[in-house]
Amino acid sequence: MDEALERAASRFGDAGVQAVAIHNGQVVWSGKRGKAIHDPSKPVTDQAMFPYSSLSKLMVATFALHQVENGVLDLDKPISAYVGDEVAGSRVVTVRMLLTHTAGYPDLYGDPATAPLFPPGDQYDPDRPYTFAMLNAGIRQPVNPGRRFEYSNTGYIILGHVLAKTSGGDQALERAYRNFVRRAGTAQVPMTDDVLTMERTQRAFGRLVHGYNRLDNGELEDFSTAYGAKGIPTDLYGLPFTDGAFAGTATGAGLLLDSLFARGNLLRPDTVRMMVTPSPQAGRSQDPDLGTYGMGTYQTREAGRTWQGHGGTYSGFSSIAATDVGRGITIAVVVNELSPPHPATVIWKELVRTASSGRS
């Protein structure tokens, strides 16, 4: 596995990488390489934290389904029951639609009301905290809700707002999630904010890697400092961005999936079966992975096995974590570079092939 990590990651120069393999709660292999920060040079450590980007959707969906199990949410009740008429389309859109990317919301990041708030928009300020009200200005009426699958960051941001409302506010949601995810930890690695968090604290800032985009001329742009951020850029993770809410280590992501799909101690078995069952709308997708999308998770085939999980991409970062449910093996990879092809997926596939060959 060490050789496989080096072989695959070397395609991306000094990109910082963490990777981990977990089997039924035990970390059986972990690896790291590259730079957490290029200038000044700082190597990746086991404690370094990476934004998970859209891998966070699986984590948010898991908590949402936990709230369904507890009777706090109803999958098929209009979200107006939780947020009133505050959000466009709330009288017809349901939690199930948000989870399955079938609500039909247009992309808020490209909306004229909100696009200037994000890089390289003329109103972007990486040190200004965002609120849901700021994002809500770009949320428009959904198109044919429930009729078709279309991967949607907007839908998951709205789902996060529903969770915050039913939890009693943003801070209450953070506390509730922290308490919920503790059960994914083990005696070997407790689930603390040092391995998975949605809070942008000073402690997290001291351990967070910088994210890099490779420019057309081959040079790296440091996304974490390109716009003058004095701390963690406020669009990088955390509330209200529940389309990419979490940051942490590869181990933190791996333990959550292992707990969900292998150990089975986050959700009831019938809930997990519902979660991983592709929606009828997703089955019409042209993408082989997204065509298997259930609720915050999709399947992919690699090395002759079916893996259940999610990937992530945001400026300067890529990630993927997935579980071979039949064998109870989870492999997670986080990378602080974004350049084609998706670095985390390239590395993950090489690790999966090696693990499956028995040459680990």
Average pLDDT score over residue span 337-344: 92
Report pLDDT for 360. 45
Q: Which residues, in sequence order, are bridge partners of residue 83?
A: none
CA atoms within 13 A on the CB side of 168: 6
Does residue 209 surpass a pLDDT of 50? yes
Does residue 50 surpass a pLDDT of 90? yes
Average pLDDT score over residue span 297-305: 96
pTM (two decimals)? 0.97
Confidence of residue 357 (pLDDT cuts 50, 70, 90): confident
Does residue 284 surpass a pLDDT of 90? no
Range with the poorest average pLDDT among 47-56, 75-84, 216-225: 216-225
351 and 333 Cβ atoms separated by less than 8 Å:
yes
Does residue 359 surpass a pLDDT of 70? no
Which phi and psi angles does 134 have, rounded to 5°?
A: -65, -45
Average pLDDT score over residue span 251-269: 98
Does residue 157 surpass a pLDDT of 80? yes
Quote helix, strand, coil % in the chain, to nearest 5.
35, 20, 45
Does residue 116 surpass a pLDDT of 90? yes
Average pLDDT score over residue span 226-231: 95
Calculate what percentage of the chain has a pLDDT beyond 90.
94
Torsion sign across C-alpha atoms 106, 109, 115, 117: positive
Average pLDDT score over residue span 72-79: 98
- Residue the block writes with tokens 């770009």: 138
Report pLDDT for 327. 95
Does residue 358 surpass a pLDDT of 70? no
Does residue 287 surpass a pLDDT of 90? no
Nearest Cα residue to 334 out of 352, 315, 312: 312
User: What is d(CA 73, CA 95) in angstroms, rounded to the nearest whole number?
Assistant: 8
Q: Please indicate whether residue 217 or residue 30 has the higher confidence score (pLDDT).
A: 30
First to last CA, the chain: 5
Q: Please indicate whether residue 288 or residue 131 has the higher confidence score (pLDDT).
A: 131
Report pLDDT for 286. 79
